[in-house]
Amino acid sequence: MVTTHLDKPYSSEEAEPVMASILGHLEDLGLLQRGRCFVEFGAGRGKLSHWIHEDLQLLLVERSSTRFKVDGKHQDTGAEFERLQVDIQHLDLRKVPLLQQKKLPLVGVGKHLCGAATDLALRCLLETSKVREETEPAPKRLRSSEPRPGEDPETSEPGPGTGPVLGMALALCCHHRCEWRHYVGQQFFLQRGLGPAEFSAFCRMSSWATCGFRLSNQDCPSQDPTNQRVEHEGHKPAAETDAVTGLLSAAERQHVGRLCKLMIDGGRHHFLKTKGFSSKLIRYVEPQVTLENILLTAVPSCPALS
């Protein structure tokens, strides 16, 4: 289920290995082309979008205020950056003026989307027709395209919808931070007689793949499980205290942790299949670069013309 394609080549030698490999896979999927909008979830400083391409539309989604953004580097290029400060779970792409006006096909990208943020991004991309609650906050537009004459982008009704989703490449991270309420693979688990309790156990044990039991409870930061930006190295789960910890060797725990991650990602694969997408889990960099080295890619099973 997991294939290995390490360090896909990409023309920019300056990009760090993780981003260079993600870009290489986007190129391999035929997604690095003009006439589409790249939506970077959990964008942070926007480094991934920075390396994608010039003369493109880029929509950066980040709920936190971010310092040292690289957006300004593209002021004199053909690339159009728009940054939204909003939690992914509150984002309705139909209401983004750039997408309303241009109806551009979408490509979703993310560099280490932590835990539930991956599921929220998948829902945001593939369930944009779902009506949002009126009480949800509107995104804070930090830099955006000009609205249509006489139109208030914060209050106007959404258009017919966004352009089609042409594909995605999401670097997965921090499965121990997933939540059942946001998880897109609930049906996948339920069909196998598993529910929220079992899912929670899989999430806890998934940390064995990268952290083992070296950490104590004091090492676990108290952060929102749907955090979308902070790098995975800072998301350290608390040590497990279950009786099973003394029954397995470190290598066995690591193997179990990887299987738990694979199970969680299997639900995401199932979700994408139900939405008409063909997806792959790819080991895209060496573990020496990062232990969180799985990339989820997906394209429509029957590609639409773009």
Under CATH, what is the fold of the domain 2-175+267-300? Rossmann fold (3.40.50)
The pLDDT assigned to 79 comes to 57
pTM for this prediction: 0.75
- Worst-scoring range by mean pLDDT, 3-7, 29-33, 222-226? 222-226
Q: Report domain extents, the chain.
A: 2-175+267-300, 186-257
* Top-confidence residue, 11 or 171: 171
175-206 pLDDT tens trace: 999 999 999 999 999 999 999 999 999 999 99
Q: How far apart are CA 174 and CA 118, in angstroms?
A: 10
* pLDDT confidence bin for 47, thresholds 50/70/90: confident
The pLDDT assigned to 58 comes to 77
* pLDDT confidence bin for 294, thresholds 50/70/90: very high
Q: What percent of the chain has pLDDT over 90?
A: 42
Q: Which residue has tokens 């966004």? A: 162
